[in-house]
Chain A
Amino acid sequence: MEAMKMLLVDDEERFLSTTRKLLARKGYDILTASSGIEALETLKHKTVHVVILDVKMPGLDGLDTLRAIKSNHPLVAVIMLTGHGTVESAVEGLKSGAIDFLTKPTEIDDLIAKAEEAFAMRQRLEEKIRMAQTKKFMRSPREIIKKAKTP
């Protein structure tokens, strides 16, 4: 089974480095980006399954970055990380295509659990896509014959 690739986006460098170290110890390999732009850049070149995205960032903020990710990489699962202890900003994210949300300060274990969940969903989705494509291939010889019969 494919290993989960995470991208953590936050403007706090120390949070990025500490979390990366922490997750590495728990056996996860993660990428980090300190801004929305950098995150989009990374996504272009690297395979990423789950993005954990801070809502409040200077420059391109969390919601804008989310919309850009969803239009360019619809299959990437995004989990919003909100500083507000409330649902409002998270709801906005969920409406724009985020799969889940976390509130700061969040437990590392919660983060892992939600990421795994999102990854599993994505895996299932990819499985479905694969299955659909396989069906298409299986159907095609008959169609070829059909086409051959007709003059």
Chain B
Amino acid sequence: MARKVQSHYSRIRKYILTSMILVPFIPFVLILGIGYFYFTTSLSNSSIASMHRIVEDHRQMIESFLMERKSDLDLVLHSHSFEELSQTEKLNRVFNDLKRKSYAFADLGVFNDSGVHVAYHGPYRLAGKVYDEAPWFKEVLNRDYYISDVFLGYRRIPHFIIAIAREENGRKWVIRATIDTFMFNNLVRKVRIGKTGEAYILNKSGIFQTDRRSGGNLMDKDPDYAQYPQFHSDIKTFINADASGKNYLYATTWLKDKQWLLVVRQEQSDAFRALKTAVYLSVIVAAVGGITIVGVAFYLTGRIVERIKQSDLEKGRLQEQLIRAGRLAELGEMAAGFAHEINNPLQIMKSEQALIEAILTDLMERGHLHHSEDLSELEESIRQIAFQIKRCSEITQAILKFGRKTKPELQELELQHSIPEIIDMVRKKADVHGITINQKVSEAAPPILADPSQLQQVLLNLFNNAIDAIIKQHGSAGGQLVIEAKPKEDKNVEIRVKDNVCGVRPENLKKIFSPFFTTKPVGEGTGLGLSICYGIINSMGGNMEVESEQGVGTTFTIHLPAGA
């Protein structure tokens, strides 16, 4: 039974706990998940977008730089004749004009159609050298212009050349300028995104055309080049791991007629650092939120189950009381009817017994009977019949009293007066047997609503019971009877009658208010006293309980409603 009840509560507990955790958890996780998803998506989008933008900007810058230099040379080529530029003086002037436009120009040379360096302005002595076999020269004759990859050349400085050809009077001639990549290099190197963001240019074969900040010297080969997507139009973004295993976010685009590849890259962890923070925050929020939800759920569930347990207990007790009261009322009614029926035959028996006695007396008076042992035995037997009839009638009287349903006449009663009065009725009996009566009637106890004579009956019954029990156990010394009355917080007044007798056995405690239950020897008690008391207190709107501790004492507690 106890285990069943336990599992009942643990089932309730499980149910409440599950709903209290799940119900807030589902929206919580959903909100967190949705928030996380949109936040990270927008963050990574914005990271990628910013790289996109940088690549786009730089492509334009580089392309326009190249275009400008080319058009600078175009202008020179078309505004001067071969003869003019073949003169060193003129070439010097032209170069200085160019230099004013852009510091990137490092030198300028003029070639005839057989590749002879006709005139040169620059830091080296290159005039007169023949280039007809050089690939760049062949290319420029073919396509009219040529931009080389970066190379170190004689000067060990990174540079590239722009060469343009022009046909004049049926003969082609070429001007070639060397562009110092120092500026160019700087332009690309200047790109900084976050901690690790960088930009660099590779040629078609993956050779660095500019330095790479994170390592990768000019003219070296980029070891990861093979993994980049080849020849795409527009801007491509992707994630790739370099040789050391670090993940990078890349954005690449092709420049210069797909000769050069502009690469912008950033370590993924750096690019998505904000993302990482978002993840950490989400995890922390989820953990704290989850723990809070679970904690609160456990706390509340504990309290709810405790409440339920308590109210169930209360309900059980109330029900028990109701059942007991109902059973007592039923029993009372039945017993009263029964007693009433018994009284009629008792009356006849009594008459018969009286008649026998009268007849015997007559017979003796008339001398028909003589004193003998048999006669006295007969007389004794007749007396015994009379005694037993009397005993029966006492029982029926008690039962009738118990079953009687008199409405109590309630009136306000001051316990401070009435309890001492009732105690006085038993004081003599108590004194004789050396019982100390200890009364503690609180001055704070408000007047109660009760029927004075019925309350007196109840208390006298309890006092007498206690005194009888004390006498039986303690003889004529050491008995103690405590009577207390005090207000209770629920507008009730509590009266306690406490003795110091060894106590009532638990199995008897349950039956103590049942009619005809007695532990007294046959003939000494009807077992109705306490059930009458119980009925009386109930009918006055109160209740009565008993507690007993083995070897310590028994306490009867009465609760009665306080007056208005």
Residues of A near any B CB (own CB < 8 A): 12, 14-15, 18-19, 21-22, 25-26, 56, 83-86, 88, 104-108
Asked if A14 contacts B340 (CB within 8 A), the reply is: no
Write out the residue numbers on chain B whose beta carbons fall within 8 Å of the beta carbon of A107.
350, 354
Bound: A106/B397 CA distance, A: 12
A15 to B350, CA, bound (A): 9
Instruction: List chain A residues, Cβ under 8 A from B400.
Output: 84-86
User: Could you tell me if A22 and B340 are in contact, using CB atoms closer than 8 angstroms?
Assistant: no
Are B358 and A18 interface neighbours, CB within 8 A?
no
Is residue B347 within 8 Å, beta carbon to beta carbon, of the partner chain?
yes
B96 in the interface (beta carbon within 8 A)? no
- 6 A-B residue pairs with Cβ-Cβ distance under 8 Å, sorted by A, are A18-B351, A26-B358, A83-B343, A83-B344, A85-B401, A108-B350
Say yes or no: A12-B348 contact (C-beta < 8 A), given A104-B343, A105-B343: yes
Once A and B bind, how many residue pairs between them come within 8 Å at the CB atom?
Answer: 60
Range, interface on chain B: 20 to 34
* Residues in A neighbouring B343, C-beta threshold 8 A: 83, 85, 104-105
Most buried by B among A21, A83, A85, A108: A85
Structural contact, B347 and A106, CB atoms closer than 8 A:
yes
Please provide the 7 A-B residue pairs with the shortest distance between their CB atoms, ordered closest to farther: A85-B400, A85-B397, A105-B346, A105-B347, A104-B343, A18-B351, A104-B347
- A14 cross-chain contacts in B, Cβ below 8 A: 348
Shortest Cβ distance from A107 into B: residue: B350
Does B352 lie within 8 Å of A18, measured CB to CB? yes
Query: Measured between C-beta atoms, what is the minimum distance from B455 to chain A in Å?
Result: 19
Given contacts A56-B340, A105-B393, 8 further A-B contacts (CB under 8 A): A15-B347, A15-B348, A18-B348, A22-B351, A83-B341, A105-B343, A106-B347, A107-B354
User: A86 near B404 (CB under 8 angstroms)?
Assistant: yes
Bound-state Cα–Cα, A85 to B393, Å: 9
B504 to chain A, nearest CB (A): 29
Residues of B within 8 A of A105 (CB): 343, 346-347, 349-350, 389, 393
- Chain A contacts of B279 at CB under 8 A? none
Task: Determine how close the nearest CB of chain B comes to the CB of A91; give it in whole angstroms.
Answer: 11
- Complex CA gap A14/B397 in Å reads 23
Mask: chain B, 320-336; 1 = CB below 8 Å from A; 0 = not: 00000000000000001
A15 to B341, alpha carbons, bound, how many Å? 14
Q: Is the interface of A mostly helix, strand, loop or mixed?
A: loop
Check: B406 CB closer than 8 A to any chain A CB.
yes
With both beta carbons as reference points, the residue of chain B lying nearest to A13 in the complex is identified as: B348
Residue B362 CB within 8 A of the other chain:
yes
Q: Which residues of chain B are within 8 angstroms of A18 by Cβ–Cβ distance?
A: 348, 351-352, 355
Q: Is B164 an interface residue (CB 8 A)?
A: no
B339 contacts partner chain A, Cβ-Cβ < 8 Å = yes
Residues B401 and A104 in contact, CB atoms below 8 Å apart: no
- Interchain CB contact under 8 A, B348 and A25: no
Docked-complex contact A106 and B350, CB < 8 angstroms: yes
A12 to B404, CA, bound (A): 25
User: Is B396 interfacial (CB 8 A cutoff)?
Assistant: yes
B354 A108 Cβ-Cβ under 8 A: yes
Q: Provided the pairs A85-B343, A105-B389 are in contact, do residues A22 and B401 lie with their beta carbons within 8 angstroms?
A: no
Most chain A Cβ neighbours within 10 Å, of B336, B347, B401, B404: B347
> Are B404 and A15 touching (Cβ within 8 A)?
no
Q: A83-B340, A85-B396, A86-B400 are in contact. Are A21 and B355 (CB under 8 A)?
A: yes
> Which residues of chain A come closer than 8 Å to B340, judged between CB atoms?
56, 83-84
Selected from B349, B351, B393, B404, the residue in CB contact (under 8 A) with A19 is B351
Of the candidates A15, A86, A106, A108, which one forms a contact with B401 in the assembled complex, judged by CB atoms under 8 Å apart? Answer: A86
- Give Cα distance in the complex from A86 to B343, angstroms: 12
Asked, given contacts A85-B396, A86-B404, whether A22 binds B347 with beta carbons under 8 Å apart, the answer is no
Check A88 against B350 for contact (C-beta < 8 Å). no
Report if A88-B404 is in contact (Cβ < 8 Å); known contacts: A25-B358, A104-B344.
yes
B354 and A22 within 8 A (CB): yes
CB distance from A65 to the nearest CB of B (A): 17
Given the complex of chains A and B, what is the CA–CA distance between A107 and B349 in angstroms?
11
What's the minimum C-beta distance from A39 to chain B, rounded to whole angstroms?
18
A108 to B353, CA, bound (A): 10
CB distance from A4 to the nearest CB of B (A): 18
Q: Looking at the assembled complex, report how far the CB atom of B359 sits from the nearest CB atom of chain A, in whole angstroms.
A: 8
Nearest CB on B from A26, distance (A)? 7
Residues of A within 8 Å of B344, CB to CB, are: 12, 15, 83, 104
Contact call B339/A85, Cβ cutoff below 8 A: yes
Known contacts: A22-B355, A105-B343, A107-B350. The answer to whether A88 contacts B406 by CB under 8 A is yes
Collect the chain B residues with CB atoms within 8 Å of residue A19's CB. Answer: 351
Q: How far is the CB of B271 from chain A (nearest CB, A)?
A: 102
Measured between C-beta atoms, what is the minimum distance from A87 to chain B in Å?
9
Rounded to whole angstroms, the CA-CA distance of A108 and B396 in the bound complex is 19
Residues in chain A near residue B346, CB distance under 8 A: 104-105
Minimum C-beta distance from A82 to chain B (A)? 9
CA distance A83 to B346 in the complex (A): 10
Residue of B nearest to A14 (CB): B348
- Determine the distance from Cα of A106 to Cα of B348 in the docked complex, in whole angstroms: 10
Residues of B within 8 A of A85 (CB): 339, 343, 396-397, 400-401
